Amino acid sequence: METTVGIVGGGPAGLLLARLLHARGVACVVLESRDRGYVERRQRAGILEQGTVDVLRACGAGERMDREGLVHDGIELRFDGRAYRVDLPTLTGGRRVTVYAQTEVVRDLISLQLAEGPPLLFDATVTAVEGADTARPVVHYRRDGVDARLDCDYVVGCDGFHGVTRTVPPPAARRVVERGYPYSWFGILADVPPSSDELVYAHSPRGFALASMRSPHVSRLYFQVPNGTDPADWSDTEIWAELASRFETVGDWRLRTGPITARSVLPMRSSVTEPMRHGRLFLAGDAAHIVPPTGAKGLNLAVADVVELARAFGRLHDDGSPDLLDAYSATRLRAVWRAEHFSHFMTSTLHLAPDQDPFATRLQLAQLHRIADSRHAAAELAENYAGFAPPDPLAG
Ligand code: FAD
Ligand code: DHB
What pLDDT does 393 receive? 61
Whether pLDDT at 389 is above 80: no
| For the CA of 14, the nearest atom of ligand 1 | 51
**pTM for the full predicted model:** 0.96
Which residue's C-alpha comes closest to atom 1 of ligand 2? 46
Per-residue pLDDT reduced to its tens digit, 105-147? 999 999 999 999 899 999 999 999 999 999 999 999 999 999 9
Atom of ligand 1 nearest to the CA of 126: 19
Which residue among 103, 210, 286 has the greatest number of ligand 2 atoms within 8 angstroms of its CB, and so is best to mutate?
Answer: 210
pLDDT at 9: 98
Residue nearest to atom 53 of ligand 1 (CA): 160
- Asked if residue 396 has pLDDT above 60, the reply is no
Average predicted confidence (pLDDT) for the chain: 96
Residues with CB under 6 A from ligand 2: 45-47, 199, 210, 212, 220, 293-296
Average pLDDT in the 223-250 region?
A: 96
Question: Distance, CA 372 to ligand 1 centroid (Å)?
Answer: 33
Domains and CATH numbers, the chain: 2-72+96-179+268-352 (3.50.50.60)
pLDDT at 378: 98
Atom 3 in ligand 1: residue holding the nearest Cα: 160
Whose CA is closest to 21, among 153, 134, 164, 132?
Answer: 153
- Non-local (6+) Cβ contacts of 190 within 8 A are 218, 219, 220, 221, 257, 258, 259, 260, 261
Dist CA 303 CA 19 (whole Å): 12
Please say if the pLDDT value at position 392 is more than 70.
no
**Per-residue confidence at 391, pLDDT binned at 50, 70, 90?**
low
Q: How confident is the model at residue 395 (pLDDT cuts 50, 70, 90)?
A: low
- Over residues 173-217, the pLDDT tens digits come to 999 999 999 999 999 999 999 999 999 999 999 999 999 999 999
317-352 pLDDT tens trace: 999 999 999 999 999 999 999 999 999 999 999 999
Instruction: Ligand 2 pocket test: pick from 185, 199, 263 the residue with the most ligand atoms within 8 Å of its Cβ.
Output: 199
d(CA 175, CA 271): 10
pLDDT tens digit sequence for 276-320: 999 999 999 999 999 999 999 999 999 999 999 999 999 999 999
Question: Which pLDDT band holds residue 43 (cuts at 50, 70, 90)?
Answer: confident
Percentage with pLDDT > 90 across the chain: 94
Distance from residue 286's CA to the centre of ligand 1 (Å): 6
In the chain, % of residues over pLDDT 70: 98
Which residue, judged by its Cα, is nearest atom 11 of ligand 2? 46
Tell whether the model's pLDDT for residue 245 goes beyond 60.
yes
Q: How far is the CA of 143 from the centre of ligand 2 (A)?
A: 34
How many whole angstroms separate alpha carbon 195 and alpha carbon 211? 8
Ligand 2 centroid to residue 369 C-alpha, Å: 22
Burial class (CB in 10 A: 0-12, 13-18, 19+), 134: exposed
- Spatial contact of 109 and 16, defined as CB atoms under 8 Å apart: yes
| Catalytic residue set | 72, 201, 293, 297, 385
Average pLDDT over every residue of 85-109: 96
Q: Which residues are CB-contacts of 294 (< 8 A; sequence separation ≥ 6)?
A: 201, 208, 210, 343, 346, 347, 350, 351
pLDDT band at 69 (very low <50, low <70, confident <90, very high): very high
- Cβ atoms 272, 145 nearer than 8 A: no
Best of 113, 286, 290, 305 for a ligand 1 pocket test (most atoms within 8 Å of beta carbon) = 286
DSSP state of 390: P
Tell how far the Cα of 337 is from the centroid of ligand 2, in angstroms: 20
Contacts of the segment 129-134: beta carbons below 8 A, 24+ positions apart: 129/8, 129/155, 129/157, 129/164, 129/165, 129/168, 129/281, 132/168, 132/169, 132/278, 132/279, 132/280, 132/281, 133/278, 133/279, 133/280, 134/279, 134/280
Q: Where are the beta strands (DSSP E) in 27-144?
A: 28-31, 47-49, 70-72, 74-79, 82-87, 97-99, 120-121, 125-130, 138-143
Confidence of residue 390 (pLDDT cuts 50, 70, 90): low
End-to-end CA distance of the chain: 30
Ligand 2 centroid to Cα of residue 5, in Å, is 32
